[in-house]
Structure 1
Amino acid sequence: MSVLTIVLLFLAGFVSGSINAVAGGGTFVSFGALSLTGIPPIVANATSSIAQLPGYFTSVIAYRRDFARIWRGAMVLAVVSVFGSLLGALILLWLDNEQFSAVVPFLLLGATALFAAGPWLKPKVMHEETAARGRNLSSPIVQFVTSIYGGFFGAGMGIMMLATLGLTEGGDYHRLNAIKNLLANVIAIVAIVVFVSGGVIDWASGLAMVPGVALGGYAGVWAAKRVPQVAVRGFVIAVGLFLSAYYFAKG
């Protein structure tokens, strides 16, 4: 790996971490940068998951005080997330790079559309008692489907989970976001274990990105106070459309 490639991956990690801290969607940048360096799409997807892990951990730390009151209610969702993420990651490894490449532009377009619609997909906040009466099996079933997607690809997963949790769970936004962050860690860790076992991680590229992601996450807190979110969202959407066009052209 050349010094230029290492620098580019570090910078991509920094931008990715910053974007995740401000508006979410940093996976588009990390996956795109890895793809553009010539890494096969399955390996790029798996390596991007590794690179984003520090950001998932720090998001959980931010809600550590909330876990005392949500962990019991979130346990069922965490369990189904394990099985869903496992299934999604195994489906990814079952495909070859040509098959995955054919699916990637559609996944990117869908994730980009989901990200663009994010402001209109804010969670519907319900009182916890109201949600409990109508929840029954809907919450774990919907979370199982979401976690399959998260284990398979993952871009836009956070927005998707906030929207679905808002429809199936109760409580205020911070409770929903705390549950989302917890489940995102579960999904990411399970998928990463599968990817490592399957030998589809480009460790050198991932290690070049991780410090950038960590620094970017810190810098993103500063940027969040100064950079309009609409500008960041516009950049992420542009990256998603560019990558979609790139993979359509390759196909």
Structure 2
Amino acid sequence: MDGLIAPLLFLAGIAGGIINALAGGATLITFPAMLAAGLPPVVANASNAIAIAPGHLLAAIADREKLPTFDRRMLVLHALCVVGGVIGALVLLALPDRLFVLPVPGLIGLATLLFAFAPRIGQWTVTHRGKGQASRTEGMAALFATSIYGGFFGAGLGILLTAVLSLQEPGDIRKVKVMKNLLGSCVSLAAIVIFIAKGMVQWPETLTMLSGALIGGYAGGHLVRVLPAQVVRLFVILSGAVMTCVYAGRYWF
């Protein structure tokens, strides 16, 4: 790792930590930074997952007023996220780099679109919020599927979790964000245990980005109360669009 890559990864970590705390979507910044550092795509994805994982938890703790009671329902939600994260990580590691790189531009583009339309997704979930046991079961299934996706790639995980959780907590966005950060931590931590066990982590780059993400995650937990979310959203959308074009040019053309 040369002298120019280290500052890039550190700053990307700070930006990613803040973005994850405020809106989700940090992987749109941090994963391309890992690729720019020269890591193979699967290793870059695994290393990126470790680097940004603590930011979710720190952001939740920073807004501790909205931390939920750890009851039976929360235990089930955490268990679903852990199992889903493990499955997603195992699917990722089963793919060779040459197969993983093909969908990378599409995954980044999909995550960017999810982020861009996140407010409408949120409105839809509130409008179509169901009642009764059937809707709770559907919510669990959606959470499990989202967790598998998060263990596999992770970009847009925060947006998807926010949409799923809004079905249950449509009137308290801060509580939804805290829950998103807690459950996102479960998905990420479950996946990174697999990545570490399989030796898929490039530690110098990971620790450099991690140090920035810790700072950004905690700062973002406080900034969520004062920083205009629209500014962050515009930055992430533009960055995601640029990265989609860059990696489409690299892997598709």
Residue matched to 1:16: 16
Q: Which amino acid aligns with 1:119?
A: P
Distance 1:229 1:171, change over 3 A: closer
Q: Deviations over 1:126-145 (max 9, x none)?
A: 9x9x7344435212211111
Residue matched to 1:150: 150
1:134-145 mapped onto 2 (5 Å cutoff): 134-145=134-145
Residue matched to 2:247: 247
Distance 1:225 1:163, change over 3 A: closer
Residue segments in structure 1 that go unaligned for 5+ positions in a row? none
Residue matched to 1:211: 211
Q: Deviations over 1:129-172 (max 9, x none)?
A: x73444352122111111110100111111111112223x3564
- The answer on whether the counterparts of 1:85 and 1:148 sit within 8 Å (CA) in structure 2 is yes
Residue matched to 1:196: 196
Report whether the alignment pairs 1:166 with 2:143. Answer: no
Report whether the alignment pairs 1:237 with 2:237. Answer: yes
How high is the TM-score relative to the length of structure 1? Answer: 0.88
Residue matched to 2:33: 33
Aligned length: 248
Distance 1:226 1:59, change over 3 A: closer
RMSD after superposition = 2.5
CA deviation after TM superposition for structure 1 residue 17, in Å: 1.8
- The answer on whether the counterparts of 2:61 and 2:67 sit within 8 Å (CA) in structure 1 is no
- The answer on whether the counterparts of 1:80 and 1:144 sit within 8 Å (CA) in structure 2 is yes
Distance 1:208 1:143, change over 3 A: same
Report whether the alignment pairs 1:44 with 2:44. Answer: yes
| Cα distance in 1 for residues equivalent to 2:6 and 2:136 | 49
3-state SS of the aligned residue for 2:69?
helix
Question: Aligned residues: percent identity?
Answer: 39
Residue matched to 2:116: 116
| Cα distance in 1 for residues equivalent to 2:203 and 2:116 | 31
- The answer on whether the counterparts of 2:92 and 2:152 sit within 8 Å (CA) in structure 1 is yes
| Cα distance in 2 for residues equivalent to 1:241 and 1:171 | 29
| Cα distance in 1 for residues equivalent to 2:222 and 2:76 | 36
Q: Deviations over 1:59-114 (max 9, x none)?
A: 23245565563532122222222221111110100001111000111111110000
| Cα distance in 1 for residues equivalent to 2:119 and 2:170 | 19
Residue matched to 1:181: 181
